[in-house]
Amino acid sequence: VKRAIYFVTGTNTGVGKTVVTCLLARHLHDQTGSAVALKPLCSGGREDAKLARAASGKTLTLDETNPWHFRLPLSPLLAARRERRKLLLTQVVSHIRKIHKRFSILIVEGAGGLLSPMGEDFDSRDLIRKLHAKPIIVCADQLGAINQVRLVMNALPKETSGRAKIVLMSPKRPDLASRSNRLLLQEMFGMNQVHVLPWLNDPYELDGCLKRAAVRRTIDSLI
Ligand SMILES: Nc1ncnc2c1ncn2[C@@H]1O[C@H](COP(=O)(O)OP(=O)(O)O)[C@@H](O)[C@H]1O
Ligand SMILES: [Mg+2]
């Protein structure tokens, strides 16, 4: 199995990063037997980490999946400061590297959007750079998506933007904007880099979703 770290980030919080992380984790876990998802930082509840852990066949403990969690639903930096705690880039990088010694493939979910402050000296961009990770940019497929995706693509470390993938998350009811975003973004960034994930049932069930051809195709295109 080819070693890789996928880093799932996005244009904002609430766009579908956890959904994409869990679909990728379940698929790669089933396919390779050596893939796990991590959610290194949580603020305001550990729900994302529990979902990431379950998607990875509960291979890791919750504390391995999510070593740092802060009470308040703020960006991790601010939530940590409210608890008088400090987190540095090197701490997070060494935890991720330690887990990567045990598993070939990691799927790491960031917190918030690409430039949301995570600790005293870093954000998701710094983690992507340090880990040589493959960025996956999740964005809600609605009016405004093109600007948001371009902003994030421009902010990515230069050496990683060429292999970044963009996932447009379909709304329940596609509109004029969502029908045209994909085509323009593909024109800008390439066919291979832009993919659409259909709307899933709410609540969604991972194995059922992965049986849908359109979901499967998108997940396969990201790896
Ligand atoms: N394609 C989709 N189909 C159905 N529900 C979705 C889809 N994308 C996101 N959601 C829902 O939107 C909410 C936010 O998604 P989530 O993955 O938690 O975002 P993030 O991790 O970026 O904060 C969740 O309730 C999730 O189930
Ligand atoms: Mg999330």
Per-residue tokens: 14: 């609430």
> Which residue has its alpha carbon closest to ligand 1 atom 1?
199
Q: CA separation (Å) from 218 to 51, 110, 169, 192, 210?
A: 20, 20, 11, 11, 10
pTM as predicted: 0.97
Going residue by residue through the chain (223 aa), what tens digit of pLDDT does each one get?
A: 899 999 999 999 999 999 999 999 999 999 999 999 999 999 999 999 999 999 999 999 999 999 999 999 999 999 999 999 999 999 999 999 999 999 999 999 999 999 999 999 999 999 999 999 999 999 999 999 999 999 999 999 999 989 999 999 999 998 899 889 999 999 999 999 999 999 998 889 999 999 999 999 999 999 9
> Which residue has its alpha carbon closest to ligand 1 atom 14?
14
Can you give the pLDDT at residue 101? 98
How far apart (Å, rounded) are the C-alpha atoms in residues 38 and 65?
5
Q: Is 39 a catalytic residue?
A: yes
Annotate 173-204 with DSSP letters as a single string: S--HHHHHHHHHHHHHH-GGGEEEE----SS-
> Which residue has its alpha carbon closest to ligand 1 atom 11?
16
Q: Is the C-beta atom of 19 inside 6 A of ligand 1?
A: yes
33 Cα–ligand 2 center, Å:
23
